[in-house]
Amino acid sequence: MNIMSLLNALPGAVAQGLIWGIMAIGVYITFRILDIADLTVDGSLCTGAAVCIMMIQGGSNVWIALLCAFLAGMLAGFATGLFHTFMGIPAILAGILTQLGLYSVNLKIMGKSNQAINVDKFDLLVSLRYIKNVAIYKNTILIVVVLIILLVAVLYWFFGTELGCSLRATGCNDKMARAQGINTDFNRVLGLMISNGLVAFSGALLGQYQGFSDINMGRGAIVIGLAAVIIGEAIFGKIFRNFGLKLIAVAIGSIIYYFVLQIVIWFGIDTDLLKLLSALVVAIFLAIPTWKSRYFSKPVRKGGNH
């Protein structure tokens, strides 16, 4: 175990953590704000990468490709929202149905199971080769950090508007929101669209970063997103009270997650077990609040002292 090999791998872990952090922010919107575990993300991540890669190959500007990837993700969220609200299908099943359908859609977009893109032939925004680039405008880490700051600023503004507050109210107390005249079905669809748009945007960046889009690249994305959300909350939950800071904590949680994975690889643990380890990490962090209340909280005495 050479410490230098670990240090050399850390910039890559930071870059990947930041890119997946955008996806984790999308997961946060459905999981914490709308109180929905949306499995669409396993398909919409690949959709974003597929749309972006194919458009860049076709000669489109990288920013136009990113915008189209975002809109494609919003369409995926719209489909899940309609399944859930208009057709009355439970949210988790609606996400599974959309994810299943997206497998075929993504294959049609790419024409085959994977598509490669060469950084030497196309002007990409981010790339694995740009991690240690001295030029600021070509440094992957700095570019993604700026994108996350802009994204958090826009979301902070949006969720402070009347529409954003009504969306938060829908997730907090659905019946009370309806009693106040809020269209909760519309808000659920909108929340799912925003979430999956961000996930697809993350997928578009990831496709550029790794140099290809693959039909299976989104498999297990929900686990990584949940891990980032839960790790961010566990570490920064009592420090970051502001909504914008909570979103930043989620992105930092994603970086920590990839740090842990890099250390696991450095220790020589079989990489085939990474998905299992990820699932265990998420399960443990999800169980911590229950364990705290069940085993570590002091029992409240009834009737006072005698």
Whether residue 301 is contained in a domain is answered as no
Alpha-carbon distance of 15 to 22, in angstroms, equals: 11
Q: Is the pLDDT of residue 302 over 70?
A: no
Tell me how crowded residue 278 is: count the other CB atoms within 10 A of its CB: 19
**pLDDT per residue over 95-113, tens digit each?**
999 999 999 999 999 999 8
**pLDDT per residue over 16-39, tens digit each?**
999 999 999 999 999 999 988 899
| CATH number, residue 191 | 1.10.3470
State both tokens at 24: 């984790």
Alpha-carbon distance of 195 to 201, in angstroms, equals: 10
Whether residue 305 is contained in a domain is answered as no
Q: How far is CA 142 from CA 238, 271, 278, 289, 299, in A?
A: 28, 29, 27, 35, 49
Alpha-carbon distance of 6 to 29, in angstroms, equals: 33
Alpha-carbon distance of 298 to 294, in angstroms, equals: 9
Q: Is the pLDDT of residue 127 over 60?
A: yes
**pLDDT per residue over 193-203, tens digit each?**
999 999 999 99
Alpha-carbon distance of 295 to 293, in angstroms, equals: 6
Whether residue 284 is contained in a domain is answered as yes
- Report the greatest alpha carbon distance in the chain: 81
Whether residue 52 is contained in a domain is answered as yes
Q: Give me the percent of the chain exceeding a pLDDT of 90.
A: 57
State both tokens at 2: 């050479």
* pTM of the predicted protein model: 0.91
Residue 285: per-residue pLDDT: 75
For the chain, the C-alpha Rg in angstroms (whole number) is: 20
Q: Which range, 2-11, 160-169, 232-241, 282-291, has the best average confidence (pLDDT)?
A: 160-169
Higher-confidence residue of 67 and 236: namely 67
Whether residue 302 is contained in a domain is answered as no
Q: Which range, 4-8, 75-79, 134-138, 273-277, has the best average confidence (pLDDT)?
A: 75-79
In the numeric block, the tokens 């999981």 are attached to: 31
Q: Which value, to the nearest 10 degrees, does the dihedral of the CA atoms of residues 139, 145, 148, 150 take?
A: -90
Whether residue 304 is contained in a domain is answered as no
Q: Tell me which residue range forms the domain holding 143.
A: 3-296
Q: 3-state DSSP call for residue 106?
A: helix
Mean pLDDT of the residues in the chain? 88
- The separation between CA 66 and the C-alpha centre of its own chain, rounded to angstroms, equals 16
Tell me how crowded residue 187 is: count the other CB atoms within 10 A of its CB: 24
Q: Structural domain tally of the chain? A: 1
Higher-confidence residue of 80 and 284: namely 80
Q: How would residue 306 be classed by pLDDT, with cut points 50, 70 and 90?
A: very low
Element (DSSP H or E) covering residue 265: helix 243-266
Whether residue 30 is contained in a domain is answered as yes
Whether residue 218 is contained in a domain is answered as yes
In the numeric block, the tokens 């990468």 are attached to: 49
Q: How would residue 298 be classed by pLDDT, with cut points 50, 70 and 90?
A: low
Q: Is the pLDDT of residue 288 over 90?
A: no
Partnered with residue 213 across adjacent β-strands are 115
Alpha-carbon distance of 203 to 197, in angstroms, equals: 10
Q: Is the pLDDT of residue 304 over 70?
A: no
Q: How would residue 1 be classed by pLDDT, with cut points 50, 70 and 90?
A: low
